Structure 1
Amino acid sequence: MIDHFALGWITPILSFLLSCAGCAVGLTCTARARTSHGLASTVWLGIGAVSIGGTGIWVMHFVAMLGFHVRGTETRYDVLLTIASGLIAIVVVGLGLFIIRAAGVGPLALLAGGTVTGLGVAVMHYLGMRAVHVGVEITYAPVTVILSVAIAVVAATAGLWLSAKVQTIGAGIAATLIMGIAVSGMHYTGMAAMQAEVVRGTIVTPDVGVSVAALLGPLIIGVTVSTILLVLVVGLAPSAEESEAQEKFRDWQARQEEIQRETAEPRHRSQLL
């Protein structure tokens, strides 16, 4: 028997809050990317991809997985596949964000970006599940798998649209909650597709991977450090409104300098005559 809430409500609640936190920081980064240019805009989109893909999606997935348990077995994790799933989440979110920046938020761009990101998130989820070893065969219900992939694509499309449109604090809070619910919904739909044989008697221990306890310490340290760094970067950098004001001021300065040059040229010519 599969239990997705072996630790009670702490894993779904904590994973949802972490997802919301990552999405909130990511939306803040994409807002600043819209008011920046050149390398600065690219850097902000990259940080947004790490925030949304890393914390908002992958960390949510892993924390929720801590509540996963198959009765009569011990759960172990393949470290390389677990890390690979996290990198995939960051890369596909980054691809989606850059597609939207390059092509805008038209229907075709949203469809392309949402499809790429959604399918990538689904790959991340099922690769992360492939990294889990419980010593018994795990199978998946095809219809539920397809439903989870569809949810991932729809959620990714909505997330990319929100990343390009959110401007006010109220809209940002609403967008954060929507994205957190969507990510959690995709995860638990995918988990609902899992099926495992019932084990009776002695506990089955897989002969590959590391235990949850061995993986949990480095994960907590990594997530804590990266989250603090992301918050510091976002908190210390100028806000989207401040960046926009700075850009307008620089444009105004450039126009004033151009006017001064245009005014000075006739005076210089008259003096020569």
Structure 2
Amino acid sequence: MPVFVSMLGFDVRGTQLRYDNLSITLFSVLSAITVFLALLITGKTLVWWRLLVAAAVMAFGFGDVHQLLLGALRIQGTVDRSLVSTVAVYVIAFVLSALTLWFSLWVGSVPMVLAGAVLYAVMVTGMHYAGLTGLQVHVDPNAPAPHGNVLFTFFVPFFIIGTLSLAIPITAILVAPDRREARTPSRTPEPADVHSTSLQAASQHAATQPGARRPESVL
């Protein structure tokens, strides 16, 4: 979503901008699969070698997703990318992935979650613009018009899916039975209840003793 929003403001003078449908489709599928695999590899406990492998998988997805988006760009001319900026994208993606997975295992307090969210946003934006700095376009007025769709065509379904992906889990967590029970204050027993329970327990104990006389009903 942040990458899409930033690319909506990207423009090249002297040519139309279009995006390849296949590359954008791979962009969406790869971004979901690699993050899911990284979470499965990481597990629920902190094991450093698993964390590093998962971070590498997640960084591969983040970096490739970014490269797919830039590779999907179509103009009336050619688009080139710098090797240095490409390497920088993958390095930032690896650090971002490792920190994100590490945070997901041990951070529980709200201030730390907010700090992690800010750090995540900064690094995702930095990764994106590190890739854009190496982007070089060469407009050729004699070249054929680019084929594809405008980016806003893809942005609308992404926005809807992204909103639902946040709303549905949050709603499920809020209505979960364990959270409702945790929010319900426990009932403190009244003194009369405690006294009645103690008398009942004493009566049952006396009735089980050898030779004890069974109590008779008093009308």
TM-score w.r.t. the length of structure 2 is: 0.73
Candidates 184, 187, 190, aligned match of 2:125: 184
Candidates 148, 158, 167, aligned match of 1:209: 148
Candidates 82, 107, 124, aligned match of 1:166: 107
Change (3 A) 1:100 1:216: closer
Name the count of aligned residue pairs: 184
Structure 2 equivalent of residue 71 of structure 1: 13
Aligned-partner Cα distance in 2 for 1:238–1:168: 22
Deviation per residue, 1:193-247 (Å, 9 max, x gap): 1111245x699731x21123433444444444444334323433368xx49x7xx
CA RMSD of aligned residues (A): 2.8
Question: Is the partner of 1:70 in helix, strand or coil?
Answer: coil
State the percentage of identical aligned residues.
28
Deviation per residue, 1:137-185 (Å, 9 max, x gap): 1111111211111111111111110111111111111111111111111
Aligned-partner Cα distance in 1 for 2:20–2:177: 40
Aligned-partner Cα distance in 2 for 1:238–1:178: 33
- Structure with greater helix share of residues: 1
Residues 1:229 and 2:168 are matched in the alignment: yes
Candidates 87, 94, 100, aligned match of 1:146: 87
Question: Is the partner of 1:195 in helix, strand or coil?
Answer: strand
Question: Is the partner of 1:180 in helix, strand or coil?
Answer: helix
5+ long unaligned stretches in structure 1: 1-58, 246-273
Matches within 5 A, 1:2-17: none
5+ long unaligned stretches in structure 2: 183-219
Of residues 183-192 and 77-86 in structure 1, the stretch that sits farther from structure 2 once superposed is 77-86
The one-letter code sitting in structure 1 at the alignment partner of 2:79 is I
* Pair member with larger Rg: 2
The one-letter code sitting in structure 2 at the alignment partner of 1:96 is A
TM-score w.r.t. the length of structure 1 is: 0.59
Aligned-partner Cα distance in 1 for 2:174–2:6: 28
Structure 1 equivalent of residue 135 of structure 2: 194
